[in-house]
Structure 1
């Protein structure tokens, strides 16, 4: 497949090393790319991550209860190169590749798994997410700002909360130099969740620096962190969103997994 960047600003198009990414159908449809950004920009991304971890360690914390990674929200990283992941241009590219009509809302974090982190659990990411205010305009994005609980929608009486559903997931790997087969920490993709009759087909996506995997969030986009990593494992994990009505029309309201 060819990534289309002709209609975006020149500054954004020039970040990419090439436009040929791979669309794969097994174990569920997803896009995979190596050498996503030009080396100079990729180095700036890792430099910012290293600087933030060194100078502001207090802003890293547990991602979620029972989850083995710590991290920092992308909303806290909008003053440097990592802000590319909360740009409208990136949002639109992700939505295009996922084949969805997205709302302009972005949720995500930089995740860090320490060596020896345990295997995760298969999940499909088909979850709701709440954002503050009206939908963003065509050149804007909305990120969580603390006024609305992203998972539950809880908010103060004078705050407007708007429900969306995760539509496209992206995992971009960075800060993992020298990764080699056997080092662990891959992302496992499954064709189904084991039901006792047939074992799932598994594809392991390696956490190679400057690579990504991207997929539409569906009832069958089963995946997890494969664990057993010999070294630190870092990634950007993010989603763009669709309206609740769109998700219900496409999948049915009973398929949306509430927290």
Structure 2
């Protein structure tokens, strides 16, 4: 890296740090290890994100599609938001911050989207996010990130034209950032449910509800026991950024065992 590029990287890092309101992020051990934070971004930048999301929904509604056939949210991929302030979630600085907090060696691959649940959305299904993802091309460099491109490589299944290079990685850190839910109050639904444990054949365990408060987040290393879901029952629109950084498949197998990876 040249002297000029080092200076540019330092300036970029300083600008990134200026986006945060404070560093009082709380580590919690129950029901599984996670980090919780309120007032994540400074008010001006948070407002830019909500304004940008509203503008994209108003001006480019064709970008929003159903997230999954059995899931009540529609969404827009981070790859479609690179010309907005929401691109912060697809930056190398954010990738490195998230991986560092979780203590994970991440690949530079970022997967995610903004999810929108309309009023009255149903309860989701418990899942742990220990899933694979395929990314096109060579591994990103130390200052880059790679986003999925389903037009080249199917993100979930890796299907592609013959000769097209792709890499399989496994979700390593999950982040849920809540925005565009002004004035949320207890009883209005739409929380994220975290489960203490969820073994096959057992009764539903105790759960912790994370409220969808604006400008707050939850972050956790993805493991076989990070069971969570959308708790449903929201009486108003509920919006969030849902994203992951990844680790290599070899590391995931070494850490958890290949049989613990949940294929689609």
Per the normalisation by structure 1, the TM-score is 0.96
Does the CA-based 8 Å contact 2:149-2:155 persist in structure 1? no
Supply the RMSD in Å over aligned alpha carbons.
1.3
The whole-number CA distance in structure 2 between the counterparts of 1:91 and 1:80 is 17
**Residue 124 in 1 paired to residue 151 in 2?**
no
| Partner of residue 221 from structure 1, selected from 226, 248, 253 | 226
Residue 113 of structure 2 is matched in structure 1 by 109
Residue 138 of structure 1 is matched in structure 2 by 142
Classify 1:133/1:57 alpha carbon distance in 2 versus 1 (closer, same or farther; 3 Å): same
Residue 240 of structure 2 is matched in structure 1 by 235
Residue 72 of structure 2 is matched in structure 1 by 68
**Residue 97 in 1 paired to residue 101 in 2?**
yes
Residue 31 of structure 1 is matched in structure 2 by 35
**Residue 186 in 1 paired to residue 191 in 2?**
yes
Secondary structure at the aligned position of 2:46 is classed as: helix
What number of residue pairs does the alignment pair up?
Answer: 254
**Offset, 1:7:** 10
**Offset, 1:192:** 1.2
Name stretches of at least 5 consecutive residues in structure 2 with no aligned partner.
Answer: 1-9
Q: How does 1:202-221 map to 2 (within 5 A)?
A: 202-221=207-226
Bigger drift between 197-206 and 67-76 goes to: 197-206
Does the CA-based 8 Å contact 1:194-1:200 persist in structure 2? no
Residue 46 of structure 2 is matched in structure 1 by 42
Residue 3 of structure 1 is matched in structure 2 by none
Bigger drift between 106-115 and 189-198 goes to: 189-198
Bigger drift between 6-15 and 105-114 goes to: 6-15
The whole-number CA distance in structure 2 between the counterparts of 1:197 and 1:209 is 34
Secondary structure at the aligned position of 2:106 is classed as: coil
**Offset, 1:197:** 4.8
CA offsets, 1:176-210, max 9 Å, x none?
Answer: 00100000000000011265555412110000000
**Residue 168 in 1 paired to residue 168 in 2?**
no
Residue 87 of structure 1 is matched in structure 2 by 91
Does the CA-based 8 Å contact 1:189-1:221 persist in structure 2? yes
**Offset, 1:127:** 0.4
The whole-number CA distance in structure 2 between the counterparts of 1:197 and 1:48 is 44
Name stretches of at least 5 consecutive residues in structure 1 with no aligned partner.
Answer: 1-5
Poorly superposed stretches of 4+, deviation over 6 Å = none
CA offsets, 1:79-106, max 9 Å, x none?
Answer: 1200000000000001011111000000
**Residue 252 in 1 paired to residue 257 in 2?**
yes
The whole-number CA distance in structure 1 between the counterparts of 2:95 and 2:200 is 35
Secondary structure at the aligned position of 1:184 is classed as: coil
